[in-house]
Structure 1
Amino acid sequence: MTSRIVFFHQNFCSNSTVLRTWTACQSCSISAFISCPSGFRRSPGTSTKDCKYYIRTYTLKIPINGCSFECYKEEELKTCCPGFWGPDCIECPEEAARPCSSRGVCSDGLGGNGTCTCQVGFAGTACEDCEANRYGPSCSSVCSCVHGLCAAGVKGDGRCTCFSGYGGASCDKELPECASLSCQQNSRCMEEALTGRLVCRCLPGYQQTAAQCVSVNPCLQQVCHVHATCVHSGPDQHLCACNHGYSGDGRVCMAVDPCQNKHGGCSTESTRCLILATLPVPLSLVSLSWLSNLVCGLQSPCPHLSCAVRLLLVLTRSPVHLVLSLTCPNPHLS
């Protein structure tokens, strides 16, 4: 039998339920001596004389009035608190108090997978942004740029930055006079909003530095999650990728629980996968005495193993978690 114990995730809640059953109908003279099924207790004041039991003869089945009583048992079912998911009850994207940025529904509970189903218009691991070509706090507005780039996203206002030779609020107005205007590299011909005259300005994704238009690097502005790597992929373009040990879209990165994925690589027949801690420092800086105190302070699922042996059974290490695999014969697991 396999079981999992997580010592440092305190996100479990309990739901109590009451199971009820009735004893078999018996003669009222002996009914008081009939016991409830194992684990059940007799419900006070629930005896009834309305039942019937039968006596069989060779040819007859004779009904006789009898007595029965109700039995009950309280069961406490362990489950994840709202906003937590999986066997280890990990926090949903963003945070349990406002999962999915309050813009979607998290697949929570013991059987959940922690993914967000976003409301219409929203996207991202934690529904933190708008779908492509949408903008505004509610992501309900749709960009209208025909020949240009839209200021999209939750913080965007939908304004269009037109490509060279186009103007107008939606970049749908051709500017044929631009053909006679020679603009420098990485710049474009555009119409000034106030004067209507044609001028050269840097292309979208570039900014004026001295006499040149230089590519903007958004990675300098910490646009990705703290546990993600930002790659400058073009003028004002970037890619966010979660670091090893984390998952997400790069703007939201969540620590991967090694025990959630295929039992942490441990045998499901004879092993418990335990997350001992989220490491505050790299594993190389963790002292042997700290590790020893942590491991040996746990209640061992394998009573016959000494502390020293348990310490040697630390198998899997990641930048985020310290994972302990305890292996012992099946009868020792509960």
Structure 2
Amino acid sequence: MGSFKVYVSMFALIAMLKKANPCKNGGTEQSDGTCVCTVQFTGTTCEEKVNPCKNGGIDLPNVGCICTADFTGPTCKERVNPCKNGGVQLSSGKCFCSQNFTGPTCEEKVNPCKNGGTEQSDGTCICTQNFTGPTCEERVNPCKNGGFELIAGRCFCTQNFTGPTCEERVNPCQNNGTLLSDGSCNCTQSFTGPTCEVRRCQLFGERICKSHCSVSEREIDLFCEGNDLCCEI
């Protein structure tokens, strides 16, 4: 009977001690009445579960941490890098982009095509009318037939060509001669020579007019136009 009373007294004492401990969830009451909580709880009486999710993340049962937009990781302690495509965030918050990207968050691909060229899906460039080259870096020479551009839009032509872009062949045929497709001259009736530079005698077939005529030659010549010309005899 006595042992039963001791047992009951011990049970009552333990129950009283448990009831008297204000610290919940395994917390330990200190001599001053405050609680020392386990690692997973906090609060005056350890009644509040510690949120394992950092930086404003929310702990959902059986799910884990739901992080805010700027953080990631199991406990949301890792800051999300806002810099895309391999960019690095500087301490100022700005992005230092890799070579091929630009923009506040490196979201925009740098166009390798210069002078208004358009990059294709395969990385090649479609250039505007006035440029050429792999990245449209080279200005198209508007000057044809060996001419070269002195300043933008103005051509310096070779000897045999003329026109704004040297597109027109210079006519070497003199005295209204016509340049043929083979480069030779078709002369009018009064002229002959490779470039129609020699005047013919008007009534003597293939004879030509010459200069440095003698007095007698000038007196008998009535067929060459010009004061110093006479038919070659």
Judge same fold: TM > 0.5, yes or no. no
- In terms of fraction of residues, the more strand-rich structure is 1
Larger Rg: 2
Which structure's relative contact order is higher, taking Cα pairs within 8 Å and 6+ residues apart? Answer: 1
TM-score norm. by structure 2 comes to: 0.28
